[in-house]
């Protein structure tokens, strides 16, 4: 009898590889922007620049190791299907990507794993978006310590352009992996091949965001260019594609997902363009994820 391949035996594992594949280009770009460019201009050593390439892959590998330990040792399952099919390595890598370039990066590894353990203990009682929770906790801790910054060493010393081209590519000040609109949209294209990905959430969220931006343009003293800069530099596209659409923390019912996405887009547009409060995007996602049980009760008559 032929032995089944891992991909056939663990059908979800192939889907999870698509999750990882969707953010690999972002990880590489994050290394280029925050590591290689900074090293090339003499603001850090080559080894220090390589941390932006090494850390995310360490996080992914350690996440798989921890998942095996959790399910085989703690949960005492007979095989590693649950560990192999876990979405946690992808989620943990996203947690890294929403960090600031100078946020004591090596400390993110134990922080992410600790939060993962915490989430496992409360998972049966609450639906919570781990990425949004991590971002909010990290922001709070670093703000208290007075060390929070979205600029790397090179960007601190240089004036960074916010031209439309720069905003699309992502070579401006921002979190490690949230700045490139182009790569976020490429990640969305990759995720379209994932049957578990809730592809309508980013579309509805972005449309809702755009409609509110038009309203803000007419009712407030703000130019179209300012709205464009606020929107593209806030990391909203990244959050809509990867964070707000997280399958484990979003409504199962289609009508619930529509309302969830609309509220996310509307609230994000207001926070970004009237308060310049980019962190508000993650706070909104966190709150909406906690309300998922309510969204799952919403059902349109046509469904």
* Helix 224-233 and helix 254-274, axial crossing angle in degrees, nearest 10: 120
Rounded to the nearest 10 degrees, how much is the dihedral formed by the CA atoms of 284, 286, 290, 293?
Answer: 70
- The pLDDT value given to residue 2: 45
pTM: 0.92
User: Average pLDDT of each block of 10 consecutive residues along the chain (303 residues)?
Assistant: 50 75 96 95 92 93 88 83 84 94 83 85 77 92 81 87 87 93 96 90 97 94 90 95 92 94 97 94 96 87 54
- The pLDDT value given to residue 262: 97
Residue 10 near residue 85 (C-beta atoms within 8 A): yes
Residue 303 token pair: 């469904």
- The pLDDT value given to residue 303: 55
- The pLDDT value given to residue 1: 41
Residue 219 near residue 274 (C-beta atoms within 8 A): no
- The pLDDT value given to residue 28: 97
In Å, how far from its chain's centre is CA 186?
14
List, for residues 129-140, the tens digit of each pLDDT value. 999 999 999 888
Alpha helices in the chain (DSSP H): 6-9, 11-31, 37-40, 46-68, 81-84, 88-97, 105-122, 130-145, 153-157, 164-169, 181-191, 200-219, 224-233, 236-238, 254-274, 280-290, 292-295
In Å, how far from its chain's centre is CA 262?
18
Domain boundaries, the chain: 7-175, 198-303
Burial (0-12, 13-18, 19+ Cβ within 10 Å), 279: middle
Residue 153 near residue 106 (C-beta atoms within 8 A): no
């Amino acid at each position: 009898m032929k032995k089944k391949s891992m991909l056939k035996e663990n059908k979800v594992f192939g889907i999870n590889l698509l999750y990882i594949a969707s953010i690999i280009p972002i990880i590489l770009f994050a290394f280029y922007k925050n590591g290689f460019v900074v090293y090339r201009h003499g603001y850090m050593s080559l080894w220090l620049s390589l941390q932006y390439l090494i850390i995310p892959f360490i996080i992914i590998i350690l996440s798989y190791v921890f998942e095996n330990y959790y399910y085989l040792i703690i949960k005492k399952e007979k095989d590693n299907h649950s560990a192999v099919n876990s979405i946690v390595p992808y989620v943990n890598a996203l947690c890294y990507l929403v960090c600031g370039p100078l946020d004591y990066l090596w400390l993110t590894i134990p922080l992410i794993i600790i939060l993962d353990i915490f989430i496992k203990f409360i998972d049966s009682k609450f639906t919570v978006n781990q990425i949004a929770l991590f971002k909010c906790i990290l922001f709070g801790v670093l703000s208290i310590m007075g060390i929070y910054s979205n600029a790397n060493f090179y960007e601190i010393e240089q004036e960074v352009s916010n031209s439309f081209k720069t905003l699309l590519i992502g070579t401006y000040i921002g979190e490690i992996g949230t700045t490139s609109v182009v790569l976020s949209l490429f990640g969305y294209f990759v995720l379209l091949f994932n049957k578990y990905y809730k592809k309508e959430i980013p579309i509805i969220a972005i449309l809702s965001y755009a409609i509110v931006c038009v309203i803000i343009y007419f009712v407030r003293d703000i130019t179209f260019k300012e709205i464009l800069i606020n929107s593209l530099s806030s990391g909203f596209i990244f959050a809509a594609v990867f964070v707000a659409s997280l399958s484990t923390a979003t409504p199962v019912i289609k009508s619930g997902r529509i309302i969830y996405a609309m509220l996310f887009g509307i609230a994000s547009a207001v926070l970004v363009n009237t308060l310049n409060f980019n962190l508000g995007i993650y706070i909104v996602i966190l709150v909406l994820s906690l309300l998922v049980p309510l969204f799952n009760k919403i059902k349109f008559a046509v469904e």
